[in-house]
Amino acid sequence: MVDQTHPKAPRTGVGSWLCRDEFDRERMLDMEERVRPVRRRTAGIMALAILAMSPWLGLWPLLFVLSIMVCFAGADQLMPRLARPEYLMFAAWVGSGATIAVAVALSGDQGLPALSWLAIPVLTLSLRFSMRGIVAGVIISLAFALAVAFAVDANAVLADPVLVIVPFTLIICVAVLSTPLMQSDIKHRSDAVVDQLTGMLNRNALDVRVQELTQQANVTGEPIGLIVGDLDHFKDINDTHGHATGDAVLKEVTYLLRKQLRAFDLAYRLGGEEFLILLPGAELDAAAELAERLRDAVAGTPMTGGMSITMSLGVGGSRRGQPFDYESVFAEADAALYEAKRSGRDRVCTTERAPVAAFA
């Protein structure tokens, strides 16, 4: 069964103003995994800076650094349960900026130079969100800087506007410089790991993720489920209706599959009409249940031109407490897929039992 400690919400399959589509959402979650250790190091640097300033400010600002870390740690725990985790991440991001602003405000005149610290969270905006999210984050950061500066000493700001011009400039420049760099990185990464037809991840992305999951499973002992799916008689569609119709069907099937998946479930197009799904934390029974939902979704939905299509799926997985060997698990799932095809198609087979469902 799936680990119920942190239940995972079903995906919406729909974008938001922070994430344009499901790929953006998956990228944000993946980037958050990568940013987490860097965020801790950044907090350590801020803590050292506060220690250096302690003769003038005291040590109490360390509490605000701690609160930022707690805020993000809580978001990390809750995001897998949400269909649209980007909203929680943006709230945590706003909370980090607000915490810095409050700390600077409480420090009085001596703390005003630290307004420039508001540029630190701005650097991470382009790592996580769409352009609208970046613009919203910059406006919020500028508002924090302006509000704190005038709340601390409005007369000083009016007499010396440099107090706000410098942090304003730094915040805007950080956003302007980091955004195209990140967009370029995203484009090159997308071209390398994303199937251009369906928007699903491809074999290149699978190879990288398998290595990461293998290491994680060997440390945590968590099981990993694996589903291999293949559209039935897909060649007939291409031969009868043309490749354009076949491409449209592949896109529609991709959308149906994504709607059934949860945050952190990983879907890939292996090529042609074959798909693979990795399910971290899922044992064989849970993976088989999901595979049956995928089969039912495809079989029960008319495709382009009203045609019906079915899907056969094979399920494998590692056991809790045992190492994850991708090659052997994939071989088991692939053998189960072959059995599903041999048994009549439109069904789910696992490595350990007879077909879960069989329909003529």
What pLDDT is recorded for position 188?
61
- Both 104 and 169 in one domain: the answer is yes
- Both 344 and 319 in one domain: the answer is yes
- Both 47 and 103 in one domain: the answer is yes
What pLDDT is recorded for position 8?
44
- Both 27 and 176 in one domain: the answer is yes
Domain that holds residue 339: 203-358
CATH assignment at residue 252: 3.30.70.270
From 142, 27, 121, select the one nearest 65 (Cα to Cα): 121
- Both 137 and 70 in one domain: the answer is yes
Kindly state whether residue 217 falls inside one of the protein's structural domains.
Answer: yes
- Both 141 and 284 in one domain: the answer is no
- Both 326 and 283 in one domain: the answer is yes
Nearest 5 degrees, angle CA 229-CA 289-CA 232? 25
In total, how many domains does the chain have?
A: 2
What pLDDT is recorded for position 233?
93
Kindly state whether residue 74 falls inside one of the protein's structural domains.
Answer: yes
The beta-carbon contacts of 215-223 under 8 Å, at least 24 apart in sequence, are 216/280, 217/280, 217/318, 217/323, 217/324, 218/323, 218/324, 221/320, 221/321, 221/322, 222/3, 222/280, 222/281, 222/320, 223/281, 223/282, 223/283, 223/284, 223/317, 223/318, 223/319, 223/320, 223/322, 223/324
336-351 in b/e form (b: 16+ CB < 10 A) is bbebbbeeebbbbbbb
Q: How far is CA 7 from CA 79, 216, 281, in A?
A: 10, 19, 10
- Both 293 and 349 in one domain: the answer is yes
Kindly state whether residue 6 falls inside one of the protein's structural domains.
Answer: no
Last residue of a domain, one of 143, 159, 193: 193
d(CA 282, CA 263): 13
Nearest 5 degrees, angle CA 289-CA 295-CA 298? 140
Kindly state whether residue 99 falls inside one of the protein's structural domains.
Answer: yes
Kindly state whether residue 10 falls inside one of the protein's structural domains.
Answer: no
Q: What is the pTM of this model?
A: 0.58
What pLDDT is recorded for position 5?
37
What phi and psi, each to the nearest 5 degrees, are found at residue 229? Answer: -125, 150
Kindly state whether residue 336 falls inside one of the protein's structural domains.
Answer: yes
In three-state secondary structure terms, 306 is: helix
Single-letter amino acid code for the residue at 82: L
Last residue of a domain, one of 168, 193, 218: 193
Helix H or strand E encompassing 188: helix 162-193
Residue 339, token pair as written in the block = 């059995």
- Both 177 and 265 in one domain: the answer is no
d(CA 177, CA 180): 6
What pLDDT is recorded for position 165?
95
Query: Tens place of pLDDT for every residue, the chain, 360 residues?
Result: 333 334 444 444 567 888 877 667 777 887 888 888 888 899 999 999 999 988 888 899 999 999 999 989 888 888 877 878 999 999 999 999 999 999 999 988 888 888 999 999 998 898 888 899 999 999 999 999 999 999 999 999 999 999 999 999 999 999 999 888 777 666 666 556 778 888 888 888 888 889 888 988 888 889 999 999 999 999 999 999 999 999 999 999 999 998 898 777 889 999 899 999 999 999 999 999 999 999 999 999 999 888 999 999 999 999 898 889 999 999 999 999 999 999 999 999 997 644 444 443
Q: Which residues make Cβ contacts (< 8 Å) with residue 347, sequence separation at least 6?
A: 295, 312, 313, 340, 355, 356, 357, 358, 359
- Both 176 and 294 in one domain: the answer is no
Kindly state whether residue 226 falls inside one of the protein's structural domains.
Answer: yes
- Both 71 and 153 in one domain: the answer is yes
Kindly state whether residue 282 falls inside one of the protein's structural domains.
Answer: yes
Q: Which residues make Cβ contacts (< 8 Å) with residue 332, sequence separation at least 6?
A: 314, 316, 351
Single-letter amino acid code for the residue at 154: A
Tokens 């031109």 -> residue: 305
- Both 124 and 30 in one domain: the answer is yes
What pLDDT is recorded for position 9?
46
Query: What is the number of residues in the chain?
Result: 360
Last residue of a domain, one of 193, 224, 241: 193
d(CA 133, CA 86): 10
| Packed helices 22-57 and 85-107: angle between N→C axes, nearest 10 degrees | 10
